[in-house]
Structure formats: C-alpha cells, structure tokens
A and B are shown apart, each in its own frame.
Chain A
Amino acid sequence: MKIDFAHRQSAHCESGVCSNLLHHYGLDISEAMAFGMGSGMFFGYLPFIRVNKLPLTTYRCEMGGIFKRVTKRLGCRVNWQKFRSPERAMAALDERLDQGIPVACRTGGYWLPYFPPAFRFHFNMHNLVVYGKEGDDYIISDPVFPGPERCSHRDLLKARFAKGAMAPKGTMYYLKQVPRQVDLAPAVRKGIREVCRRMLRTPGPVIGIRGIRFLAGQVRKWPKKLGEERALLYVGQLIRMQEELGTGGAGFRFMFAAFLQEAATLIETPQLVELSRAMTDVGDRWRKFAVIGGRLCKGRASGDDTYEAMGTLLNECADGEASVYRELLQIV
C-alpha cells in the first residue's frame, strides 16, 4: 500500500518535510518558503553544550520549530504524538498509513540503512515522511535524498527509538486539516520579523549577531587556549555544523536568501531582492570561512589562512547579517 505522495528533494530535513507535506495537501510552498515562514534562521554558539566533547554551534532554530510555526501561521491543524512503547508507535504509524495519511517521523540517523556510511553518527534530529508500506518495508520520502528510500520495520523502529541526547521517543506528526485558501503574505512577514528580532535582540552573548561576534573572539583564542591539535578539532566541528548535509550551504544563509527573493514578489516589496543579494554575500563569506578552516585542518594552510583571518571573516559575517536584519525590520 502506497500513498500517492510527491517526493521532492530538499536541502534540509525539517523544512523539506514541511514543504512536502503541505504540497501533498495542495499548498505549493517551496522549501525555502517553509524555512523562512517558520523562522528557521538562527545562530547560537553554545560552548557549554558539548557534542562529541566539542562545543555546539547551531545555525537553525530549535528542532520542530519550523514545522510548528509554519502550520500555525497558515492555520493548519496538526497532530503530534510521542510513544513509550515501540510496538504501539509502529501500530499507530500503520494505522495512519492505512487511512491514507503521510506521516512525518523524527528519527536518529544512525540506524537508517540508506544513509551513506560517512553520515552515520548518533544524531537524533532527522525528519522524514513515511508514505507507504510493502510487506515488511516502509516507503520513505527522506527529503535530503534524491529518490524515495526503503527501510525495514526493524530498522525504522530502531531509528524512531534512537537513544541519547534529544531522543525522538517515536515522535510522529501529520497534518489533520489544511485550509483551502491561505494568505501567505502575513505568514511571510511574521516569519521575517521573528528572525530579525531573534538575531538582533536576544539578550546574552551567545545567540544571534552577538553570538557570531563572540565566536569570532573565541576562534582567535583557540590555538593558544586549546593547543594546535584540539583547536583544529573545534574548527572541524564548526565546519561540520555549518555545511554538513542539510543546510543548503553556508549554514542556511543561502536558503534564507532564496526565501527573501521569493518573498519579494509575494509581499510586493522589491527591496527584498537587494537584501537577498546582501545575504548571499554573507553566505559566501561563511563559505570562505569554511575553506580556510578546511585548509587548516588538512595542514595545507598558506600564510593568509590563520585563526585571526577566520575571526575577521566571522566579524564581517556578523556585520553583513546585522545590516540585513535591521533593514528588514524597517521595511517588512
């Protein structure tokens, strides 16, 4: 049994799931649109939270937040469920599939057999849509992969009940009701404003623009503070958080720029095109930062590839982003 579901590959799992589910119910919303409306853009450097004993850096909002905000802003009704018993979780999934409802599940990446080996880390924030079952196999639309994938009952169960930090606990969610007619413009405005406020006005040094500047200062100190070897691990971790599968490039900055461009026509504010371009420039700078970091990690650094240069680049990113957000707040 297989639901007629259009799988469209996207860069990021949660916004991709969101866009694909809404598309299934007749709302054609691109991934970038979902990302923007859901205020997915973020920055946080949280050295007190450790991943593999290295500080956590995040370029996106909290998990589940994009889907929650997009559906709320569009007036959809959603059902979220968490389970204690794996058997019940799988039975509930089967039941929904029988009713013809595509269901999104939160999973851990480690146990999904179709993941390339290089991606198999204990990472519990992966979203995918299950839209069919044939024999023992579930048919899965995993937004970050080009085509539909298959996964056995046992593997999916394991993935849904992955353990560790932010364990998914069998979380599944689906759309119960989607309005026929929606006005996207207010949702877009709300999405943009929330991002700007969050990035500019969050108190404390670790989040938003201030977080980027804080990181810039820290990066400069790393080689002295941690020693060369450990500093390289920190840099490697930063690059992975920024670029590894699911960001669309430059830690979501390109995706946000794409959203601004789309939003320009939607809310009839041509200035957004210019700001989209400015955000692309910022994204290019983030990429440059990763290039230098990559060279350092590989031991192929030339004279200009220093921690100092990385810090300067980060400060430029902060400047660029701050001016984009300030202008956005004024025109949206």
Chain B
Amino acid sequence: MKIDEVPQDRGMMNDHRKEVCYAVDDQGNYVLTGSAGWDPKNIANGQAWELIDKAAGAALQKVRRGQASPLFYHMARHQMSVGLLAKYAGVGRLRVWLHLKPGPFSRLSPAGLQRYAEVFDISVRELKTVPESHVSGSPSV
C-alpha cells in the first residue's frame, strides 16, 4: 500500500483519533501513518453490530410481551450469553437461566439483583426496567 492510498474513511473511531497503518512512501520505504478507517472494515464492523442490535431488539420485544425478565434484555445488550453472564455475576448458569424468566426474576432478593446490576454498571432500578426502544451500542453504525 502506498502512502497516498492509505484510506481515511472515518467510521469506527468516533472522534479524531486515528489508528496506525503501515504504508510505503515515494522512495519505497515503510513508514507509519495514520488512518481514520477503511470502508470494507467499517462495513464488516457494521454487520457485526447489526447482529447484536437485532438480538437485543428481539430480546426487548420478548421482555415487553412479558415472556422474559428485563435481565434478558440487559444480557443481550451487553453481547452476553447465559454462560458469560453467569461467570460475571458469580451465579450458576442454571440460576441465571431461571432469572431470565419474569417470575423467578421478580422473586430475586435485593442482594441477588445487586449482583446483576454491578455486572452491567447500572442501578437496581435500571436493571428492573427496559427502555421503550433499543438504542445501538455503536452510534457510528
């Protein structure tokens, strides 16, 4: 890649930061230069976020219909599986799975709720509620 071919397609870096790219200058020597981003990878990254947002959106619908507890949405929003959430919360997988149902979730003790809230860095009150609509975690998409 020549230095004047280094792409500057801003996308994933949301501010003025640039990443380093290796390119060849006029004399054929390698130099480090900044790149704001590149379309093919912005597209690939956007594709990954679409999947995450689709899963989170579907989870939100399920919670709104009363088929799952709010924990289900928060888990999806943070790209977590039951196994991963179990590890973060220090709760058994089976119990996490159970807490994804509205009934068992509503019977959780304050300490149990606190555990989950800490994983997501939110308050217990926020944990018990879900937003009107899902907002993507990646604003650049």
> What is the number of contacts between chain A and chain B, taking CB atoms within 8 Å?
126
Q: Which residue of the partner chain, among B20, B24, B43, B80, contacts A248 with CB atoms under 8 Å? A: B20
Contacts of B12 in A (CB 8 A): 116, 118-119, 245
Which residues of chain A from 5 to 46 have a CB within 8 Å of any chain B CB? 9-11, 32
A291 proximal to B (CB < 8 A)? yes
Q: Which residue of the partner chain, among A10, A235, A240, A293, contacts B20 with CB atoms under 8 Å? A: A10
How far, in whole Å, are A293 and B39 apart by their CA atoms in the complex? 11
Contact status of A118 and B84, CB under 8 A, knowing A249-B1, A297-B44: no
Nearest B residue (CB) for A257: B30
Which residues of chain A from 220 to 238 have a CB within 8 Å of any chain B CB? 232-233, 235-237
How far, in whole Å, are A167 and B48 apart by their CA atoms in the complex? 22
Which residues of chain B from 15 to 45 have a CB within 8 Å of any chain A CB? 15, 17-24, 28-30, 32, 34-35, 38-41, 43-45
Q: Are B22 and A244 in contact (CB under 8 A)?
A: no
Contacts of A232 in B (CB 8 A): 47
How far, in whole Å, are A297 and B44 apart by their CA atoms in the complex? 7
Contacts of B15 in A (CB 8 A): 116
Contact status of A248 and B41, CB under 8 A, knowing A116-B14, A277-B28: no
Q: Are A291 and B40 in contact (CB under 8 A)?
A: yes
A199 proximal to B (CB < 8 A)? no
Q: Are B18 and A297 in contact (CB under 8 A)?
A: no
Q: Are B20 and A236 in contact (CB under 8 A)?
A: no
Contacts of A262 in B (CB 8 A): 30
A290 proximal to B (CB < 8 A)? yes
Q: Are B79 and A121 in contact (CB under 8 A)?
A: yes
Q: Are B21 and A146 in contact (CB under 8 A)?
A: no
A128 proximal to B (CB < 8 A)? no
Contacts of A105 in B (CB 8 A): none
How far, in whole Å, are A155 and B17 apart by their CA atoms in the complex? 21
Contacts of B17 in A (CB 8 A): 116, 145-146
How far, in whole Å, are A153 and B87 apart by their CA atoms in the complex? 21
Which residues of chain B from 107 to 140 have a CB within 8 Å of any chain A CB? 137-140
B11 proximal to A (CB < 8 A)? yes
What distance in Å separates the Cβ of B122 from its nearest Cβ neighbour in chain A? 14
Q: Are B80 and A122 in contact (CB under 8 A)?
A: yes
Which chain B residues have a beta carbon within 8 Å of chain A's beta carbons? 1, 11-15, 17-24, 28-30, 32, 34-35, 38-41, 43-45, 47-49, 51, 78-80, 84, 87-88, 137-141
- Other than the known A237-B44, A254-B21, A280-B24, what 6 A-B pairs have Cβ atoms closer than 8 Å? A11-B22, A117-B138, A236-B43, A243-B41, A249-B23, A283-B1
By Cβ-Cβ distance, the 6 closest A-B pairs, closest first, are A294-B40, A258-B30, A254-B22, A163-B87, A239-B44, A118-B12
